[in-house]
């Protein structure tokens, strides 16, 4: 056996072992274990209030783009009018905007992220129905279960592409059991795609605290149980490389209701110079996300 042959045999053997090793890896196995749950923390027991608001779209929204789903006859048959959902506007109000408390302190001067916020026991649901994700944008707490179902008579695969949480990709044929996953690190927002149907996109906002919401079809959102204090509220809309985020300051009084409205669109940018505050790229340890 020549030296060259030996080298190639060693290379093939090495690659075989690597392939075998990777094949033995459990699906969804986490490769990074950095978690937001570091050290014992105190449960917040003080007064709370509510943050409500409306997200508007100023100007003429971009027209939704028609999706060609003919590559999968099931999609074309079940949902023949598939369109993009990046800017869903009705009567000037914008849906699918992820609103969250980005930073701030409670009335007694403590960071809201320094308290312990246990995740709800009820899972957040994400369905694949009509060859698109429903809902399009969701919020979830760290370590809260994400329950993923497939209502389509075709096969999908769910593929989140986070930057801070472990990436995973899992096929889910029609009739396959519900997939349950959790995210351990806060991240705004994680794109989710289906590599079988490349138009399918969803976004998951993972938060350490429960203070987040997604604007409804009428643009409204509500965050309840917010500790009294002063906060930076952020609104994130998909589009472009990393989405667009706007922030505003808000003071939440005990048992009070603070209102904060956002506006997106080119007209909003022109009208609100000095009004809405465009925040520069900042890293907030509480949320673990930079923009």
Partner 1 sequence: MSRGLNRYAILVACATFFLIIAGALVTSHDAGLATSDWPRSNGQFFPKMVGNLFWEHGHRMVATTVGILTIGLLIFILAKESRSWVRKLGVFALLAVIAQGLLGGLTVKLMLPLAISTAHATLAQLFFCTTVSLAIFTSRSWMNATPIAEEKGSLPLRYLCTAALVTIFLQLIIGATLRHSATWDKQLPTELILAHVGGAFAVTLALGSTGITVLRRHKGISFLTRPATVALTLLVVQLILGLSAYLVRAASPNDPQPLNPMVGVTVAHVACGALVFVTTIVLTLRVYKVMPASDSAIDLSARPLES
- Which span (67-75, 143-151, 206-214, 217-225) binds partner 1, by CB under 8 A? 67-75
Among 30, 72, 127, 261, binds partner 1 (CB under 8 A): 72
Cβ proximity to partner 1, 93 vs 193, nearer residue: 193
Our finding on whether 10 is near partner 1 (CB under 8 A) is: no
Told to check if 170 binds partner 1 by CB under 8 A, we report yes
Which one of 6, 34, 71, 277 is in contact with partner 1 (CB under 8 A)? 71
Element of type H or E holding 270: helix 266-271
Distance CA 275, CA 281 (A): 18
Distance from C-alpha of 80 to C-alpha of 190, rounded to nearest angstrom: 27
Site for partner 1 in 103-132 (CB under 8 A): none
Q: Please report how close the Cβ of residue 12 comes to partner 1 at its closest, in angstroms.
A: 6
Select from 213, 256, 253 the least CA-distant residue to 100. Answer: 213
Q: Smallest distance from the beta carbon of 8 to partner 1, in angstroms?
A: 5
Using the rule CB under 8 A, is 25 a contact of partner 1?
A: yes
Q: Which residues of 12-34 are buried (b: 16+ CB within 10 A; e: fewer)?
A: eeeeeeeeeeeeeeeeeeeeeee
Say if residue 189 is preceded by a cis peptide, omega within 30 of 0.
Answer: yes
User: Residue 19, interface with partner 1 (CB under 8 A)?
Assistant: yes
27 binds partner 1 (CB under 8 A): yes
18 lies in the site for partner 1, by CB under 8 A: yes
The whole-angstrom separation of Cα 197 and Cα 69 is: 8
Tell me the closest approach of the beta carbon of residue 245 to partner 1, in angstroms: 18
- CA-CA distance, 267 to 80, in Å (whole number)? 32
Decide: is 33 part of the binding site for partner 1 (CB under 8 A). no
**199: Cβ contacts below 8 Å, ≥ 6 apart:** 67, 69, 82, 84, 131, 132
Bridge partners (DSSP) listed for residue 3? none
User: DSSP character for 200?
Assistant: -
For position 285 contacting partner 1 by CB under 8 A, the verdict is no
What is the per-residue binding string for partner 1 in 186-205, x denoting contact by CB under 8 A? ---------xxxxx------
Scanning 42-50, 134-142, 165-173, 182-190 for contacts with partner 1 by CB under 8 A, the matching segment is 165-173
Structure tokens at 158: 């769910």
- When binding is defined by CB under 8 A, the residue of 75, 146, 268, 276 that contacts partner 1 is 75
Least separation in angstroms between residue 98's CB and partner 1 is 19
The single residue among 6, 34, 41, 73 that binds partner 1, judged by CB under 8 A, is: 73
- How far separated are the first and last CA of the chain, in Å rounded? 57
Count CB neighbours of 249 within 10 A.
12
Pinpoint the alpha helices (H) of the chain: 3-23, 73-78, 266-271
Q: Is residue 267 at the binding interface for partner 1, with CB under 8 A as the rule?
A: no
List interacting residues with partner 1 (CB under 8 A).
2, 4-5, 8-9, 11-12, 15-16, 18-19, 22-23, 25, 27, 65-68, 71-75, 83-84, 154-155, 157, 159, 167-171, 173, 195-199, 241
């Amino acid at each position: 056996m020549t030296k060259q042959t030996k080298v190639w045999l060693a290379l093939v053997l090495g690659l075989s072992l690597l392939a075998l090793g990777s094949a033995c890896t459990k699906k969804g196995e986490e490769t990074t274990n950095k978690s937001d749950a570091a050290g014992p923390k105190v449960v917040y027991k003080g007064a709370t209030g509510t943050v409500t608001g409306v997200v508007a779209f100023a100007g003429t929204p971009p027209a939704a783009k028609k999706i060609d789903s003919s590559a999968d006859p099931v999609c074309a048959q079940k949902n023949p009018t598939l369109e993009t959902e990046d800017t869903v506007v009705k009567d000037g109000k914008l849906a699918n905007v992820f609103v969250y408390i980005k930073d701030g302190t409670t009335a007694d001067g403590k960071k809201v992220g320094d308290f312990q916020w246990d995740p709800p026991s009820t899972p957040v649901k994400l369905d694949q129905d009509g060859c698109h994700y429903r809902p399009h944008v969701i919020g979830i707490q760290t370590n809260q279960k994400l329950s993923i179902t497939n209502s389509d008579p075709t096969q999908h695969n769910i593929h989140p592409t986070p930057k801070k949480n472990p990436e995973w990709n899992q096929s889910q044929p029609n009739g396959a059991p519900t997939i349950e996953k959790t995210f351990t690190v806060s991240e705004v927002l994680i794109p989710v795609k289906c590599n079988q149907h490349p138009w399918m996109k969803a976004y998951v906002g993972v938060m350490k605290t429960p203070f987040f919401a997604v604007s409804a079809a009428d643009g409204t959102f509500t965050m309840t149980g917010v500790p009294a204090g002063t906060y930076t509220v952020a609104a994130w809309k998909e589009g472009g490389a990393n989405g667009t985020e706007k922030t505003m300051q808000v003071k939440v009084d005990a048992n009070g209701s603070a209102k904060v409205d956002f506006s997106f669109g080119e007209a909003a940018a022109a009208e609100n110079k000095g009004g809405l505050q465009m925040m520069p790229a900042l890293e907030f340890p509480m949320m673990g996300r930079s923009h």
